[in-house]
Structure 1
Amino acid sequence: MALYEYRCTECSENFDLMRSMNQADDPAECPTCGSSSSRRVMTSFVRLGSDPFANTNPMMDARMARGAVAGACGPGCGCH
């Protein structure tokens, strides 16, 4: 599963969805207006401050709190 960003062509709202790679370009329903007219957009990642592990994405913060990404960086990294 990967986190993808979409932009609704009806209301111009950006939203994120956790989907498998083979679903990345499938129509995505906008959580704001309910339209299925959206397009996947390129997300740019920016490191803020001096903490290389800082995260400003609430959706990813919630997944990490549940342990949904534990071990995602591979064996022996020491993060879990």
Structure 2
Amino acid sequence: MALYEYKCSDCEERFELMRPMSAADDPAECPECGSEESLRVISSFASITPGASAEGAAAPQPRMGGGCCGGACGCG
């Protein structure tokens, strides 16, 4: 199951429906006016990650060294 966003062609209401991917483009009834003249739209979303923000956070430095795998496993 996936969450899809639709826009009603009659009243321009935007709404979401949880449905199987196989039914993503099937007609969707508008909860506002009852019309089935709706189109699936591309949804935007935000992602929040814990810890330091991507801006200003130093990129992790690769470990260098010898050993069996270049030192990544701590054997170097």
Query: Normalised by the size of structure 2, how large is the TM-score?
Result: 0.62
The runs of 4+ residues in structure 1 deviating greater than 4 Å are: none
Identity level (%)? 60
Q: How many residues in Structure 1 have an aligned counterpart in Structure 2?
A: 50
> Which residue does 2:49 correspond to in 1?
52
> Which residue does 1:30 correspond to in 2?
30
Structure number with bigger Rg: 2
What is the Cα-based RMSD across aligned positions, in Å?
1.4
Q: Which runs of 5+ in 1 are unaligned?
A: 54-80
SS at match of 2:17: strand
The letter of the residue matching 2:9 is T
SS at match of 1:39: strand
The letter of the residue matching 2:49 is P
Q: Shift of the alpha carbon at 1:21?
A: 0.2
SS at match of 2:15: strand
The letter of the residue matching 1:45 is F
